[in-house]
Every structure is written in C-alpha cells, then in structure tokens.
Amino acid sequence: MTGRVLDVAGVSKRFGALEVLSDISFQVEKGETVCVLGPSGSGKSTLLRCINWLERPDAGQIYLNGTQIGVNGAGLVMSDRELSRIRTRIGMVFQHFALWPHLTVLQNLMEAPVQVQKRPRAEVRDEALALLAKVGLSDKRDSFPAKLSGGQKQRVGIARALAMRPDLLLFDEPTSALDPELVGEVLVVMRELAHEGMTMVVVTHEMGFARDAATRILFLDRGRVVETAMPERFFSSPETERARQFIQRYAGHAANGGR
C-alpha cells in the first residue's frame, strides 16, 4: 500500500430516492492522473465530493494514504476537527473557482496554510509567491478575485490548492465554466502538474486533456464504474457500448482536443 494514495471501496450515495453512486471502487497510486469521464448525471462530481466528505457517502470506505476518511479509529463518524485535518491533505479545485472574494490573490493562497495548517507566515508567503509565479500570475498577487478573468481565477484556484502541499488534488470540472479561449491556459497548468508527478483525480469534459495527460480513465455512467482503462485503449477501442456511445458523441471534442 506504500504507493497507494487513494483507496475507494464500495461507495454508494443516494439523494432521496435517486441512487447517484452505486458501489464505486477504485484506487489511485502516487503520481497517477485519473480522469473521471461520463455523461451528465453520471455522478462524477458527487464521487469527487465524497472523497473529501463534502458529501457524506451512504456506504463504503475511503482511505487516504491508509487513513480512513470520515470514520475515525474508534469506528465513529469523524468530528469536524478530525475531518478538517484530513481535508488539509486533499486539495480541491472548483468549477466556479470558489475564491474568497474579500481576500487578495496572495491572501487567498496564504489563508488556509496559515489559519488551518498553522504554518509560519513567512514560509507560507514565500511558497505562495513561488506558486503564483508557477501559474504565471505574479503580477496579480494584490488584486481581488473579482478583477480577474475566469482563466486567471482558476489558475489562482489551482495555486491555492497547491499551497496546502496536498497528497492528492481533486479537480471538479475545472474548465467547464470558462470561455473556450480561456480553457487552454488552465489546461497548461494542469498538464504540467500531471507531468511533475502530482497525484490527481480530474472530473472533466476535456477529452483532449484526458487523452494526453491521464494515466488512467475512469468511465462512469449512472452511478457505476462502467469501464476503466488507459487512455489510448479507452479512446481507440472502448470495451463497453456505453463508453463507445459516449466517445462517439464527444468525437468532435476529442478530435479537437490536444490543446
């Protein structure tokens, strides 16, 4: 289990009468980039949000580096403080950026490491500035999020998640809310992260990114893992009918992929 960062076993979730996730199981090794694909309503976002217990699974277990999330050693549901500790090791990038509007870009990056991880301010600041440089937004450090473009906001969102030094990065449709011409600048950053060996789980519609940067594809349909494969195999010769239909529908996108 030394290389295994994430272990999801038998996770199910229902909203009222609707079963959104049914018996989902998969593992993510260190350095992997797993792309979760699937039609709308397949439960992709819910699955992601279950990993850090933003949604509470109804059944199943989730382990981060061997530690169970949501249930503590005594078998009881974790308190907010225990959950908080685990969550600091999982970074999340949101579809609508979710930057804190009352803080500048730099403050956004520094807020959680200082307030939650209790790391020294000077060290956090240096690291934050380096991360901003990495995503190409050094000049925006004192700007407020409202003044940034969508692509810039999302790059800040990624830097903010990285500032926590997470073991795992979750991406919830990171480019879906962006104008087409702004998608590229975000995918560039994500590709670089994948290349550098960051462990990532990415829910996305960007087939090009999935094909180029993913180490594995997880295909979800109606709450179940229908197929899982390496990207080349998945896109060229999918095993299941549902996957085939899905790829055909997005064939146009896949062909235009490779941004």
Partner 1 sequence: MIHDFGIVWGERDLLLTGLGNTTILSVLSAAAALLIGFVLTPALMSKQRWLAGAVRGFVDGMRCVPFLLFAYIVYYGLPSLGIRLDNWTSGLVALTIYNAAYMAEILRGAWTSQPREPIEAGVAFGFSNIALFRRIVLPPLLLAAGPVIGNQIIQIIKDSAFLTIIALPELTHAASSIQSRHYVPFAAFITAVFLYWGLCLVIEAGVSSIDRLAAARR
Task: Summarize as ranges the residues that interact with partner 1 (CB under 8 A).
Answer: 52, 54, 80-81, 83-85, 87-88, 90, 92, 94, 96-102, 111-112, 115-117, 144-146, 160, 164
**Residue placing its CB nearer to partner 1 in the complex, 97 or 219:** 97
Biggest CA–CA distance in the chain, Å, is: 54
Q: Closer CB to partner 1, residue 76 or residue 81?
A: 81
In one-letter notation, the amino acid at residue 149 is S
Measured in degrees and rounded to the nearest 5, phi and psi for residue 92 equal: -135, 135
Nearer to partner 1, 155 or 160 (CB): 160
Q: Which one, 23 or 82, has the nearer CB to partner 1? A: 82
Q: How far is the CB of 192 from partner 1 (least distance, A)?
A: 22
Smallest separation, CB 237 to partner 1 (Å): 37
Report residue 4 as tokens: 């295994």
Q: How far apart are CA 218 and CA 103, in angstroms?
A: 36
3-state secondary structure of 65: coil
Q: How far is the CB of 44 from partner 1 (least distance, A)?
A: 17
Residue nearer to partner 1 on the CB measure, 189 or 226: 189
Query: Cα 93 vs. chain centroid, distance in angstroms?
Result: 6
Query: Which residues in 34-60 are b (16+ Cβ under 10 Å) and which e?
Result: bbbbbbeebbbbbbbbbbbbebebeeb
Query: Least Å distance between CB 82 and partner 1?
Result: 10
Question: Given the complex with partner 1, which of 135 and 217 has the nearer CB atom?
Answer: 135
Per-residue CA distances from 118 to 100, 122, 123, 130, 154 (Å): 19, 12, 11, 19, 25
Q: Which of 96, 35, 95, 28 is nearest to 64 (CA)?
A: 28
Provide the minimum distance between the beta carbon of 244 and partner 1 in the complex, in angstroms, as a whole number: 35
Instruction: State the minimum distance, in angstroms, from the CB of residue 216 to partner 1.
Output: 24
